[in-house]
């Protein structure tokens, strides 16, 4: 993980980091910071690959019967169920697994893995499915034609197709009938400088801290630290997709 | 003149007449757009510029936002709605696609299909 | 060989107008279904987030594969040098274009955003085989149109062979591309194999020949033009060979999968447990679409009967639709592996479970509408332009042949 030279003045950056660290020390609840980091990317600056956003999921902390991450995602992104689970959009879901040989059960949240080599991006005929420079895999719904080929291609069945007319969308999360969508790593929050996704926040609020969001390329980030300490894997690592979501305890 | 030719010229004449008559009848039936006053004294661009170029700004901005993460406010659709969505008597914002509202009104007059709001929210955040 | 005379069909009988009416009705119903699906969204279909491609794609891919194979008869003339087939070449080209248009229409109308066709034609991701297929399909239509021009315009007849070569190679690439739509998908047990591309090439030869034989026999019978046995019997033998080759590829595909332990789950599903998919595989694809036509076509006496040839061709087409049904929705219904060695015991997004899929009426209507469109284009074209030779009796096709006439 190389450090890229930043365009802002290093001394200013250093001051801001210390100021923010002090502010972070006075946050009111664990894992939730009211202060957005002041060195967030300015809105007129293009994203670069200096960051790579990802998640670390600790399945051993995923609690039975808990759906906080799913509810938070639905709330944040305006996903409303219609009582038809086969066609309703689900950007994150919890999956219970049982080892066929030992019978041991594990539970984990499962979403778009934000691969470095996404099959969904390879197969999209118009290029609507794409990987942003900072690692988030998105659908450009302006050019998505709704062919659903990316849904066939995804090894994680992460994508949903919007099967009916939608109303009451969140202004930050436009979505509509006829296009394909999936977990965006809360890109609207990331771009606003929030250092967390809705699911990670909710999981922390529920007291489990099974999901950690962060910059996989930042040696000072919590996720980087955890990845160095814990044994982790990718789901379907045999496909060599180099996912941005890593799992521990699966 | 051959029968086919007569028929053809007759058809053209009939269509022209129908078009003219229809046009005369329609004038006065199509409501002129109602431009509700947005927030602040003026828009981010002059009115004449907006009239001709607003799609150009939006189309450029959308690519920059989606692919580049650039979220400047000047040409952001969300910010357009923030200023231009009218509010009803209780202060609740009205959807810009509702009858007589900001986007819908001009687009209906110009007969240009509004595709944005199958996905984008029609009211601002609050 | 005597110069072959082509003539438009008369096309003034009640039967002809009735045919146009029926086909037009199928097209209208298909368009209505497309409108209904587009207006309400795909929630009105049987497709879901688990099975994203259903009956429309079954029909669309079948039509496109058959279109590519229908051109084979013209290739036999131009590329393989069998001049006896030259009179059949224009009809072959016509069928190729008509079926391609029918298939593409269904494909486009099933899109979530069919209004964005222009976007699809102006934005390309060249790593996607789907994007390449857009070029291959439209290019094929253009090349075959040019090929038809070379064939029908006497001044250009010298160019029909080189253009025929281009068309032949192009359609091999096109069919390879169509098979690769599935073959390139690493995620699913049903796909993820290089074998699908050549399988589709072989299937195209069978489906195309079956379609060609049916249309040929029907159009000559209904216009009461003579159709001799020489070419017909050669083509029905070819059809038999293509069907056998298709069965071979399907057998190799399954045998190889059965050898890999990790594919046993999928094979068990498709061959045994998979409900409608397993039934359609054995009854539709293998038996009715493969073994029965083979027996009929190669039978010493039955194989010479036109009725039997027609039935065999129809069964091959049915088998083709069955093959697509097993491949497309069947391949998606089987769950994806999440963690090898672990089974999924709970999920709200249908992980680890076999997805249920049942074809809905709008989907079937759209698919059948595509067939209607293809046949309608053929029926109109043969009246408007000179695609059909005035006679295809044995004497004019092959003056040196001495053979007994077949029973009709």
Predicted confidence at residue A33, as pLDDT, reads 46
Is A65 part of the contact surface with chain C (CB cutoff 8 Å)?
A: no
Under 8 Å CB-to-CB from C390, ≥6 apart: which residues?
Answer: C5, C6, C7, C225
Distance (Å) from the C-alpha of residue A9 to the closest C-alpha of chain B?
A: 21
Give the C-alpha separation, A183 to B87, whole Å. Answer: 33
Under 8 Å CB-to-CB from B106, ≥6 apart: which residues?
Answer: B33, B35
CB atoms A87 and C349 under 8 Å: no
Predicted confidence at residue A13, as pLDDT, reads 56
CATH number, domain containing residue C243: 1.20.1630.10
Give the C-alpha separation, C49 to C70, whole Å. Answer: 34
Give me the percent of chain C exceeding a pLDDT of 70: 97
- Residue A181: list chain C partners with CB under 8 A: none
Predicted confidence at residue A5, as pLDDT, reads 44
User: What is the pTM assigned to this prediction?
Assistant: 0.90
Decide the pairing of beta strands A53-58 and A245-248: parallel
Domain ranges of chain B: 1-30, 33-118
- Residue A238: list chain C partners with CB under 8 A: 340
Domain count, chain C: 1
Report if residue C398 sits inside a domain.
no
- Residue A163 DSSP label: -
Q: Which helix (H) or strand (E) holds A164?
A: none
**A78, pLDDT greater than 70:** yes
Is A12 part of the contact surface with chain C (CB cutoff 8 Å)?
A: no
Neighbour count for residue A1 (Cβ, 10 Å): 10
Distance (Å) from the C-alpha of residue B113 to the closest C-alpha of chain A?
A: 15
Q: What is the architecture of the domain spanning A45-248?
A: 2-Layer Sandwich (3.30)
Report if residue C350 sits inside a domain.
no
Supply the DSSP string of A22-72, one letter for each residue.
HHHTT-SBTTB-SSPPTTSPPTTSPP-TT--EEEEEEGGGPPTT--HHHHH
Q: Which helix (H) or strand (E) holds C16?
A: helix C14-40
Domain ranges of chain A: 8-39, 45-248
In contact, C381 and C92? CB cutoff 8 Å:
no
Predicted confidence at residue C35, as pLDDT, reads 97
- Residue B71: list chain A partners with CB under 8 A: 43, 191-192
Phi, psi of B85 (to 5 degrees): -70, 125
Predicted confidence at residue C217, as pLDDT, reads 96
**C270, pLDDT greater than 60:** yes
Residue A16 pLDDT level (bands cut at 50, 70, 90): low
pLDDT in tens, C328-378: 999 999 999 999 999 999 999 999 999 999 999 999 999 999 999 999 999
- Can you read off the two tokens belonging to residue A89? 């959009």
Is B125 part of the contact surface with chain A (CB cutoff 8 Å)?
A: yes
Partner residue facing A152 (CB), from C133, C332, C339: C332
CB atoms A97 and C125 under 8 Å: no
In contact, C379 and C20? CB cutoff 8 Å:
yes
Span A8-17, mean pLDDT?
55
Under 8 Å CB-to-CB from B108, ≥6 apart: which residues?
Answer: B31, B33
Shortest CA distance from A46: residue in chain B: B68
Span A205-233, mean pLDDT?
96
- Taken as a whole, chain A contains a residue count of 250
pLDDT in tens, C148-201: 999 888 898 889 899 999 999 999 999 999 999 999 999 999 999 999 999 999
Q: Which helix (H) or strand (E) holds C248?
A: helix C229-259
Residue C212 pLDDT level (bands cut at 50, 70, 90): very high
In contact, C67 and C95? CB cutoff 8 Å:
yes
Residue of A95, A105, A137, A240 to mutate, testing the C interface (most C Cβ within 10 Å of its Cβ): A95
Is C15 part of the contact surface with chain A (CB cutoff 8 Å)?
A: no
Shortest CA distance from C344: residue in chain A: A97
Give the C-alpha separation, A4 to A6, whole Å. Answer: 6
For residue B84, the SS3 value is helix
Distance (Å) from the C-alpha of residue B42 to the closest C-alpha of chain A?
A: 22
Is B70 part of the contact surface with chain A (CB cutoff 8 Å)?
A: yes
Report if residue C356 sits inside a domain.
no
Is B26 part of the contact surface with chain A (CB cutoff 8 Å)?
A: no
* B76, B79, B84, B88: CA torsion to nearest 10: 140
In contact, C148 and C154? CB cutoff 8 Å:
no
| Interface predicted TM-score (ipTM) of this complex, two decimals | 0.92
Partner residue facing C111 (CB), from A121, A145, A152: A145
Predicted confidence at residue A9, as pLDDT, reads 54
Report if residue C163 sits inside a domain.
yes
Report if residue C348 sits inside a domain.
no
Per-residue pLDDT of chain B (126 residues; tens, 9 = 90+): 788 899 999 999 999 998 888 777 666 677 788 777 778 888 899 989 998 999 999 999 999 999 999 999 999 999 999 888 888 889 888 999 988 888 888 898 899 999 999 999 999 986
């Amino acid at each position: 993980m190389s450090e890229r030279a930043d365009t802002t003045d290093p001394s200013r950056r250093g001051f801001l980091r210390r100021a923010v660290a002090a502010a972070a020390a006075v946050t009111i609840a664990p894992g939730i910071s009211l202060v957005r980091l002041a060195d967030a990317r300015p809105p007129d600056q293009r994203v670069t690959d200096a960051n790579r956003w990802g998640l670390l999921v600790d399945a051993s902390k995923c609690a039975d019967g808990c759906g906080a991450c799913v509810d938070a995602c639905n709330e944040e992104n305006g996903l409303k169920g219609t009582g038809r689970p086969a066609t309703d959009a689900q950007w994150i879901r919890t999956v219970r697994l049982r080892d066929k040989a030992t019978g041991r059960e594990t539970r984990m949240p499962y979403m778009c893995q934000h691969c470095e080599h996404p099959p969904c991006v390879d197969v999209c005929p118009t290029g609507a499915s794409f990987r942003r420079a900072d690692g988030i895999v998105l659908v450009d719904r302006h050019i998505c034609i709704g062919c659903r080929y990316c849904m066939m291609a995804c090894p994680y069945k992460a994508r949903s197709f919007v099967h009916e007319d939608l109303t009451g969308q969140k202004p930050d999360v436009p979505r509509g009938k006829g296009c394909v969508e999936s977990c965006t790593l809360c890109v609207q929050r990331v771009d606003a400088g929030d250092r967390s996704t809705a699911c990670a926040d909710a999981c922390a609020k529920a007291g489990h801290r099974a999901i950690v969001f962060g910059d996989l390329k930042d040696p000072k980030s919590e996720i980087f630290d955890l990845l160095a300490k814990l044994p982790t894997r990718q789901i379907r690592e045999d496909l060599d997709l180099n996912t941005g979501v890593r799992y521990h305890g699966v | 003149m051959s029968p086919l030719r007569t028929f053809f010229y007759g058809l053209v004449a009939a269509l022209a007449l129908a078009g003219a008559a229809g046009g005369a009848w329609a004038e006065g039936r199509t409501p002129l757009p109602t431009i509700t006053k947005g927030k602040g004294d003026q828009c981010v661009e002059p009115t004449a510029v907006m009239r001709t170029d607003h799609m150009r700004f939006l189309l450029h901005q959308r690519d920059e936002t989606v692919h580049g993460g650039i979220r400047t406010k000047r040409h952001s659709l969300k910010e357009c709605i923030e200023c231009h969505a009218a509010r009803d008597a209780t202060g609740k914002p009205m959807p810009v696609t509702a009858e007589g509202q900001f986007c819908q009104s001009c687009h209906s007059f110009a007969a240009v299909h509004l595709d944005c709001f199958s996905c984008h929210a029609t009211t601002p955040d609050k | 060989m005597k110069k072959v005379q082509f003539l438009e069909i008369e096309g003034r009988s009640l039967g002809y107008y009735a045919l146009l009416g029926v086909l037009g009705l199928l097209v209208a119903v298909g368009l209505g279904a497309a409108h209904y699906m587009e207006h309400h969204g795909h929630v009105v279909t049987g497709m879901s987030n688990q099975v994203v491609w259903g009956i429309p794609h079954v029909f669309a891919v079948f039509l496109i594969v058959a279109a590519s194979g229908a051109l084979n008869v013209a290739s036999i003339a131009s590329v393989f040098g069998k001049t006896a087939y030259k009179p059949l070449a224009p009809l072959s080209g016509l069928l190729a274009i008509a079926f391609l248009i029918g298939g593409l229409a269904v494909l486009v109308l099933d899109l979530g955003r069919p209004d964005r066709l222009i976007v699809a034609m102006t934005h390309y991701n060249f790593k996607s085989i789907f994007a390449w297929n857009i070029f291959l399909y439209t290019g094929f239509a253009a090349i075959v149109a040019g090929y038809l021009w070379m064939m029908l315009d006497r001044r250009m007849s010298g160019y029909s062979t080189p253009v025929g070569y281009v068309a032949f190679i192009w359609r091999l690439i096109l069919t390879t591309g169509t098979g690769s739509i599935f073959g390139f998908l690493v995620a699913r047990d049903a796909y993820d194999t290089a074998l699908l591309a050549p399988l589709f090439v072989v299937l195209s030869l069978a489906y195309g020949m079956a379609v060609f034989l049916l249309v040929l026999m029907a159009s000559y019978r209904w216009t009461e033009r003579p159709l001799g046995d020489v070419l017909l019997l050669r083509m029905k033998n070819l059809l038999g060979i293509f069907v056998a080759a298709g069965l071979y590829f399907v057998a190799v595909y399954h045998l190889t999968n059965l050898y890999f332990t990790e594919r046993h789950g999928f094979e068990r599903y498709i061959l045994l447990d998979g409900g409608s998919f397993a039934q359609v595989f054995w009854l539709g694809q293998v038996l009715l679409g493969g073994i029965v036509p083979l027996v009929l076509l190669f039978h010493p006496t039955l194989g010479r009967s036109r009725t039997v040839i027609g039935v065999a061709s129809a069964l091959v087409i049915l088998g083709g639709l069955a093959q697509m049904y097993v491949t497309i929705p069947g391949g998606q219904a089987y769950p994806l592996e999440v963690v090898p060695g672990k089974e999924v015991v709970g999920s709200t997004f249908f992980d680890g479970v076999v997805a249920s899929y049942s074809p809905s009426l709008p989907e079937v209507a759209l698919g059948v509408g595509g067939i209607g469109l293809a046949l309608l284009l053929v029926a109109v074209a043969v009246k408007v332009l000179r695609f059909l030779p005035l006679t295809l009796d044995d004497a004019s096709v092959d003056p040196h042949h001495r053979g007994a006439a077949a029973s009709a």
